[in-house]
Amino acid sequence: MSDKKKHSTFHTPLPTFYKGFSSLAIHAGQHPDPMYAHLTPIYASSTYVYDEAEQGMRRFSGQEPGYIYSRWGNPTMNEAEEKIAAMETWKIEREGKPLEAKAILHASGMAAISSLFLATLKKGDKILTHYSLYSGTQDFMKTLLDPLEVEPIIVDLRDLSIAEKCLKEDPAIRMIYLETPANPTLQCVDLEALSALAKQYGKITACDNTFATPYLQQPFKYGIDFVLHSTTKFLNGHGTAIGGVLVGTDIEFMKTRATKTHRLLGGNSNAFEAFLLINGMKTLEVRMQRHCENAMQVAKFLVEHPAIEKVNYNGLSTHPDFAVSQKQMSHPGAMMSFELKDGFEAGVRFMNKLQLCTRTVSLGTCDTLLSHPASMSHSSVPRDQRIEYGITDGLIRLSVGMENIEDILEDFSQALS
Ligand SMILES: *Cc1c(COP(=O)(O)O)cnc(C)c1O
């Protein structure tokens, strides 16, 4: 068989083709390359050419599919988008048919979140949300949505009666915005129950799925309308690029209003970072399995250690949201936070003594990362509000890495001694 023949038989199966998650993560979204490259190349090109002027006209009018301008779409970015949409809908059926979703890759998690809010909300609308949220999302609501007269109602959405009371009393609520497990207390909200309530009251729902990844939790399974990720974290997995994605199952809305918003805001990704993301995502399953196994052992170690006051890990039966987490996640994940008995000072001493684990913000990389939310990621949240949310002065957040567990535990032991 000639190469040409072989190439012409190469096809991209539908997501339903794959029995296993890794097969899907490795192959979904890859299209045959006209130059026969094995991997989708980094298409570093701002524009795309036309064979004749009429072709340009047809592409602009949508009569002919094809790339036009890389802020609008790019072949490398497209593979990442199709892979994520496939992972988030894998094995989910709606009315007897495989669920479809469209993903739009953004420059960052915050760019995807901006697109979502600006595409769906207008003056006078309100967002019903839980109080333990990524600090940038909270800051966005306060700094940018408030002047547009879009107001957040921040409550404890783990209490469904509070959620229902808000929906009943305030018809201006347009969206329920969720993050589960949430940063950094690992609080979990019930996706199925909140999505059902939202449907009952005619509201839209969105879920930031960054901590869980589609390997551990698929919000679309519970009827959530939009899923967001900071792909910077576990999806990329190696800490090599900033990125974000907005995924939706209302294909018409995603192709029109969401696409328009993304194009006008200009928060597009780029071919190089999309390439890094694609290759990171191929190993999501094996990475998450290792992250998760290690996390469970680290949590058990910390709970039993005499220097530790408290461990927040949704995989421990003592965590208040253990049951919800068990219900909607295939594993509780690799994020946790903890507090030392001697508070802030002891926390700083412990962090400074670490030899293997890394002192940094962010999460989801191969190495184990530790940060201090009160002085780092949540320093923009006022202290009393922060403490009310469970982010105490001495809290340390941990993203458990993929090192060998004996080395992680050894480093913790020596740093706690
Ligand atoms: C990091 C993060 C974001 C923001 O993403 P960026 O890629 O940094 O813009 C949003 N949500 C969660 C849960 C995050 O961890």
Q: Indicate which residue's Cα is closest to atom 6 of ligand 1.
A: 109
Question: Does one domain contain both 20 and 160?
Answer: yes
Residue 111 has pLDDT above 50, yes or no: yes
Which residue spans within 110-251 are E strands per DSSP? 126-130, 151-155, 173-179, 204-208, 226-230, 244-248
Name the 3-class secondary structure at 35.
Answer: coil
In angstroms, the CA 315 to CA 318 distance is: 9
Question: Does one domain contain both 343 and 375?
Answer: yes
Residue 1 resides in a domain: no
- Average pLDDT of the residues in 389-411: 93
With bands split at pLDDT 50, 70 and 90, how would you rate the model's confidence at 8? very low
At residue 169, the pLDDT reads 97
Q: Which of 281, 296, 311 is the last residue of a domain?
A: 281
pLDDT in tens, 230-270: 999 999 999 999 999 999 999 999 999 999 999 999 999 99
Residue 373 has pLDDT above 80, yes or no: yes
Name the 3-class secondary structure at 173.
Answer: strand
Question: Does one domain contain both 232 and 296?
Answer: no
Question: Does one domain contain both 337 and 245?
Answer: no
Q: Which of 281, 305, 339 is the last residue of a domain?
A: 281
Nearest to 195 by CA among 157, 229, 231: 157
Question: What does the mean pLDDT of the chain come to?
Answer: 94
- In the DSSP assignment, the letter for residue 18 is -
**Residue type at position 372:** H
At residue 183, the pLDDT reads 85
- In the DSSP assignment, the letter for residue 256 is I
Looking at the DSSP bridge assignments, the partners of residue 233 are none
Question: Does one domain contain both 325 and 214?
Answer: no
H or E stretch at 116: helix 109-120
CA 362 to ligand 1 center in whole angstroms: 8
Q: At what angle do helices 405-416 and 343-353 cross, to 10 degrees?
A: 130
- Strand arrangement of the beta sheet that strand 358-359 belongs to: 308-312, 335-340, 395-399, 369-371, 358-359
- Give yes or no for residue 209 CB within 6 A of ligand 1: no
Q: At what angle do helices 284-304 and 405-416 cross, to 10 degrees?
A: 30
Residue 3 resides in a domain: no
Q: Indicate which residue's Cα is closest to atom 1 of ligand 1.
A: 230
Question: Does one domain contain both 296 and 197?
Answer: no
Residue 220 resides in a domain: yes
With bands split at pLDDT 50, 70 and 90, how would you rate the model's confidence at 2? very low
Percent of the chain, pLDDT > 70?
A: 97
Question: Does one domain contain both 266 and 403?
Answer: no
Q: Indicate which residue's Cα is closest to atom 12 of ligand 1.
A: 134
Nearest to 79 by CA among 256, 233, 216, 280: 280
Residue 2 resides in a domain: no
Question: Does one domain contain both 229 and 94?
Answer: yes
**Which structural domain, as residue segments, surrounds residue 135?**
8-281
- Give yes or no for residue 210 CB within 6 A of ligand 1: yes
- Give yes or no for residue 135 CB within 6 A of ligand 1: no
CA 232 to ligand 1 center in whole angstroms: 7
With bands split at pLDDT 50, 70 and 90, how would you rate the model's confidence at 9? very low
At residue 335, the pLDDT reads 98
At residue 251, the pLDDT reads 98
In angstroms, the CA 394 to CA 387 distance is: 10
Let me know if 63 is exposed, middle or buried by CB neighbors in 10 A (0-12, 13-18, 19+).
exposed
Contact 43, 72 (CB under 8 A): no
Query: Would you say the pTM of this structure is higher than 0.75?
Result: yes
CATH code of the domain containing 360:
3.90.1150.10
Question: Does one domain contain both 207 and 344?
Answer: no
Question: Does one domain contain both 362 and 399?
Answer: yes
Range 156-178 burial, b when 16+ CB lie within 10 A, else e? ebbeeeebeebbeeeeebbbbbb
At residue 381, the pLDDT reads 79
Question: Does one domain contain both 355 and 249?
Answer: no
Domain count, the chain: 2
Q: What does R_g of the chain's alpha carbons equal in angstroms?
A: 22
Question: Does one domain contain both 299 and 188?
Answer: no
Task: Compute the CA torsion angle 47, 116, 200, 195 (nearest 10 deg).
Answer: 90
Nearest to 197 by CA among 171, 160, 234, 158: 160
